Homo-oligomer: A and B are copies of this chain.
């Protein structure tokens, strides 16, 4: 049974990526042999080497899945469909947590990237890539906080850039905590409080902007 149709071939590829994710999550990236991934996927190493050059490329293919899922909500932060830019930030953070809650595979990939991968050797460049979302979020936060300040939604005497850093640190820590402790309610309460801390007088007690 070889030489599948294109649809079957694609299913094999997806199956390998899926098996890799589960294996990486259970055994860690470096301790996961291609043989183990193959067994989980129900194929042999030959199939893996056909679809991917080596374990590193397979890892990258797996990572792209999570990126596709999360890149969209980042850019939603810049949209103008809420009056108060602070609400956009709040919504972004809440959606991030929501994704972790609803999509176990994305969550697994996040956990692999955080605690089951060693960023050395050929994986060293991956760390820079893994930190890219953080850089993106920071620059977007700067824009949105600036906008909030200009419109009087940000509490006076607060510097937009400094607030951007503070919220970026907050989101990193929140992500870590949520993944390790699985306290979704705590996360949501923390997000609302974090944003409320910097709301200006203009509509400090009127969160009906969303």
Contact A118 B166 (CB under 8 A): no
> What are the interface flags for A180-194 relative to B under an 8 Å C-beta threshold, 1 for contact and 0 otherwise?
100000100110011
Q: What's the least CB distance linking A9 to chain B, in Å? A: 31
- CA distance in complex: A30, B27 (Å): 12
Contact A117 B120 (CB under 8 A): no
Contact A177 B166 (CB under 8 A): no
Main secondary structure of the interface of A (DSSP, over half): helix
- A10 contacts the other chain (Cβ, under 8 Å)? no
Contact B180 A170 (CB under 8 A): no
- A108 contacts the other chain (Cβ, under 8 Å)? no
Give me the interface of A with B, judged by CB distance under 8 Å. Answer: 26-31, 115-121, 123, 127, 131, 134, 158-159, 162-163, 165-166, 168-174, 176-177, 180, 186, 189-190, 193-194, 197-198
A-B interface, 4 closest residue pairs, ranked by CB to CB distance from nearest:
A169-B173, A172-B173, A28-B118, A28-B120
